[in-house]
């Protein structure tokens, strides 16, 4: 059972960077004005920031990391662990985390790891870094979570393009014997892997001429096998059923009262319909559920750290908080994490 209670690890700081290119729903050529209005009202994503082809997720994460390190006053030499959580790395090999170790000027003694884990990325990053730090053998970790998800898909796929935004976030974790425990509960349903996938480009189906052949699937979906796809109905049935069960289990297992013991519920910002559904299913107090999907779209694994930056900055800096995070995404994977924070340095979003 993938449950953890991670001791001695504190979240010290967080920030995020987006490309300075806001795109409104009505800007997409495949939407009529009326369709764009309906999309805004139902899916809730009115704006998103889209990286140009010359900006990679690592560039956005690099900017966030540099600003966070400076804001915390950490020396580069004091960082032991660097995780890059992304499905849009610079190259197929080597790991982007290694390239970032050099770009950020971190010592060669740094432990690096790439985690291509999609929308649960924040939770995977904190779970891995947290477990590495917990014994105190290493003291400081940077967890960089970011994607340029727009470029993974077909520009002519109406079912996918308007949902995502691009970003890079950075979180700083540190060994601290006074820190409250972090609770994590993760799950996997590999049988559902085809719901969210990029069929060609790996070694099961390497890129061939056929990978670029576009097919019209109807309903505004035109894509090639090289493009990431979303099987909307499968994702939707997964997203509305599994996360609430995991959240309830977390609350029960650790004896937490959702109304009294949790300050905020940070739910992966997939789209408004899905987040609303989870809120309703769990009967959560809406005032405790921040949203930023209207401004950023679905940021994949960076969704939760960006919520901290865009919606909770003042609270996180000034008072202790209990945050319950719920995420779900490719794999299929989903999970819940409870993290208690104290005086976290939150550095404002930068538009690169």
Partner 1 sequence: MTNLEKLNNIFSEVFSVEQSVLNADFCKDNVEGWDSVRQLSLTTALEDEFDIMLDAEDILEVTSYEKTKVILKKYDIEI
Interface positions with partner 1 (CB under 8 A):
38-39, 42-43, 159, 219, 232-233, 235-237, 240-241, 271, 273-274, 276-277, 280-281
Q: Which DSSP category does 230 fall into?
A: E
Q: How far is the CB of 172 from partner 1 (least distance, A)?
A: 37
Q: How far is the CB of 147 from partner 1 (least distance, A)?
A: 22
Which of 159/188 has CB closer to partner 1?
Answer: 159
Which of 2/41 has CB closer to partner 1?
Answer: 41
Q: How far is the CB of 243 from partner 1 (least distance, A)?
A: 11
Other CB atoms within 10 A of residue 352 CB = 17
Greatest alpha-carbon pair distance for the chain in Å reads 57
Which of 4/334 has CB closer to partner 1?
Answer: 334
Alpha carbon distance 144, 133 (integer Å): 16
Alpha carbon distance 345, 332 (integer Å): 32
Q: How far is the CB of 238 from partner 1 (least distance, A)?
A: 9
Q: How far is the CB of 120 from partner 1 (least distance, A)?
A: 19
Residues 6+ apart with CB under 8 A from 146: 17, 57, 58, 60, 61, 64, 85, 86, 88, 166, 167, 168, 169, 299, 301, 302
Which of 201/232 has CB closer to partner 1?
Answer: 232
Q: Which DSSP category does 72 fall into?
A: H
Which of 39/84 has CB closer to partner 1?
Answer: 39
Which of 149/239 has CB closer to partner 1?
Answer: 239
Check: CB of residue 123 under 8 Å from CB of residue 335: yes
Which of 111/236 has CB closer to partner 1?
Answer: 236
Other CB atoms within 10 A of residue 281 CB = 15
Q: How far is the CB of 39 from partner 1 (least distance, A)?
A: 8
Check: CB of residue 300 under 8 Å from CB of residue 230: no
Which of 212/217 has CB closer to partner 1?
Answer: 217
- For 67-179, strand residue ranges (E) read 81-85, 111-115, 140-147, 167-175
Of 262, 259, 266, 253, the C-alpha closest to 328 is 266
Q: How far is the CB of 305 from partner 1 (least distance, A)?
A: 26
- Supply 16's token pair: 């995020």
Which of 219/314 has CB closer to partner 1?
Answer: 219
Q: How far is the CB of 204 from partner 1 (least distance, A)?
A: 26
- For the chain, strand residue ranges (E) read 3-6, 9-18, 22-24, 47-49, 81-85, 111-115, 140-147, 167-175, 182-188, 196-197, 215-216, 222-223, 229-230, 264-267, 321-329, 333-341, 345-351
Q: How far is the CB of 105 from partner 1 (least distance, A)?
A: 45
């Amino acid at each position: 059972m993938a449950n953890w209670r991670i001791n001695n690890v504190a979240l010290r700081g967080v920030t995020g960077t987006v490309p300075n290119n806001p795109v409104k729903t009505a800007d997409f050529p495949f939407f009529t004005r009326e369709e764009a209005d309906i999309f805004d009202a139902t899916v809730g994503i009115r704006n998103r920031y889209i990286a140009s082809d010359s900006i990679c997720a690592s560039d956005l994460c690099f900017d966030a990391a540099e600003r966070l390190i400076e804001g915390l006053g950490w020396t580069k030499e004091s960082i032991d662990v660097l995780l890059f959580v992304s499905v849009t790395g610079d190259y197929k090999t080597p790991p982007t985390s290694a390239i970032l170790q050099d770009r950020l000027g971190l010592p060669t003694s740094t432990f690096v790891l790439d985690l291509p884990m999609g929308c649960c990325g924040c939770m995977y990053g904190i779970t891995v870094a947290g477990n590495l730090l917990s014994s105190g053998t290493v003291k400081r970790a940077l967890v960089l979570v970011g994607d340029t998800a727009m470029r993974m898909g077909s520009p002519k796929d109406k079912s996918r393009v308007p949902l995502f935004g691009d970003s890079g976030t950075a979180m700083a974790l540190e060994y601290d014997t006074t820190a409250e425990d972090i609770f994590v509960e993760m799950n996997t349903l590999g049988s559902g892997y085809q719901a969210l996938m990029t069929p060609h480009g790996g070694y099961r189906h390497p890129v061939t001429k056929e990978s670029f052949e576009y097919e019209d699937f109807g309903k505004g979906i035109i894509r090639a096998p090289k493009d990431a796809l979303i099987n909307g109905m499968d994702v939707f049935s997964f997203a509305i059923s599994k996360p609430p069960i995991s959240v309830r289990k977390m609350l029960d297992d650790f004896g937490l009262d959702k109304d009294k013991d949790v300050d905020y519920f940070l739910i992966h910002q997939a789209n408004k319909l899905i987040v609303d559904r989870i809120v309703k299913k769990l009967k959560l107090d809406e005032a405790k559920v921040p949203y930023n999907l209207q401004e950023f779209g679905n940021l994949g694994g960076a969704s939760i750290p960006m919520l901290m930056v865009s919606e909770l900055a003042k609270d996180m800096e000034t008072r202790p908080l209990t945050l319950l995070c719920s995420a779900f995404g490719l794999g299929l994977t989903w999970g819940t994490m409870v993290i208690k924070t104290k005086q976290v340095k939150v550095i404002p979003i930068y538009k690169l």
